[in-house]
Structure 1
Amino acid sequence: MNPAQDLIKSLAEKHGRNRENLLPVLQGVVEKEKYLTEYLMIEIAREMNLPAAEVYGTATFYSFLEHKKMGEYIVRICKTITCSMKGKNQVLLAIQDMLKIGVGETTADGKFSLLETNCLGWCHKAPAMLINDDVHTDLTPETVREILSKYMKK
């Protein structure tokens, strides 16, 4: 067995091989591998004795289960009405201008990917974004430039 198969097997043993255990297995693979390749989804289906289409359907339904290679830093900006009303569009334009990418794209150096996502749960401090697991709130075009500059220096 290869390391990916070992990982999937250990996650299936830990969480169980029933359909209701698919999500924690997918999350565990993403945590370790960063995204779900077609190969990984097929291996999960094989290990859990599920149709590959079911694994793919679940993986692509949830926005935090990446199924394509992403940048080192995944910038997720909230696209809810609350964030929009509080200036999300200007913040998004500042991000796109600074990173020189659009939504759904990754910078040429592989450092940043930009995504829009549904509610992050920070409506009271909108607009909000996540960079990997770090929450940033009360954003303005100026503050988002400062935040991204820090990540660019890492």
Structure 2
Amino acid sequence: MNTCGACSCGTASSEGDLLVRLDETIGAYQTVPGGLIPVLQIAQGIYGHLPETALQRICAGMGKSYSEVAGVVSFYSFFSTQPRGRHTIRVCLGTACYVRGGNRVLAGFKQALGIEVGQTTPNLQFTLEVARCLGACGIAPACLVDSTVHQSIKPTQIASILQSYE
């Protein structure tokens, strides 16, 4: 059984149910020019990431080679072939954030979570990423947790930020 990771609904779905949803999506976009990216986005929403079985199914259904599909997945940073955390933390390392301590904030998150950039905690609660700019230069250093911007972060605040998402 898999849990719908993208919507955090907690609803358990069988592999068969997930494949039916994926096949419906492929069918809807099969003849649409440029339909591969929407199919990949929806597939990632269904699974929470892009597992090998989904990629193979997309290749067959869209009439694309595996290298073409894998190339698109590896090119765009918003696609992931590994399970992602329920919450995504993006620490800004743009110039203003970096100068104001963004690197210390990142180190604090790495230490608190016990993971490196690009990794997900074993309990699938958090995925840690770096952003080059969040457009929050005036409130630097900043991070984005899901869609919430946290501003003027000090490493001592990291524990409370994480706790608010558990």
Counterpart pick for 1:117 among 131, 135, 150: 131
- Cα deviation for residue 124 of structure 1 reads 4.2
CA–CA distance in structure 1, aligned partners of residues 71 and 149 of structure 2: 28
TM-score, with length taken from structure 2: 0.76
What is residue 51 of structure 1 aligned with on the other side?
65
Alpha-carbon RMSD? 2.4
What is residue 81 of structure 1 aligned with on the other side?
95
- Cα deviation for residue 50 of structure 1 reads 0.9
**Using a 3 Å threshold, how does the CA distance of structure 1 residues 138 and 23 change in structure 2: closer, same or farther?**
farther
CA–CA distance in structure 1, aligned partners of residues 118 and 51 of structure 2: 17
CA–CA distance in structure 2, aligned partners of residues 53 and 65 of structure 1: 15
The 10-residue stretch of structure 1 (24-33 or 137-146) with the greater mean CA deviation from structure 2: 137-146
- Cα deviation for residue 16 of structure 1 reads 4.5
Counterpart pick for 1:39 among 53, 60, 68: 53
What is residue 75 of structure 2 aligned with on the other side?
61
User: How do 1:2-151 and structure 2 match up within 5 A?
Assistant: 2-18=16-32, 20-151=34-165
* Structure 2: stretches of 5+ with no match in the other structure: 1-14
Judging by fraction of residues, say which structure has more helix.
1
**Using a 3 Å threshold, how does the CA distance of structure 1 residues 128 and 67 change in structure 2: closer, same or farther?**
farther
TM-score, with length taken from structure 1: 0.81
CA–CA distance in structure 1, aligned partners of residues 32 and 67 of structure 2: 15
CA deviations over 1:66-116 (Å, ceiling 9, x no partner): 110122222222333332123210111111222222222332333222222
State the identity as a percent.
30
Given that 2:141 and 2:152 are in contact with CA atoms closer than 8 Å, whether structure 1 keeps it comes out as yes
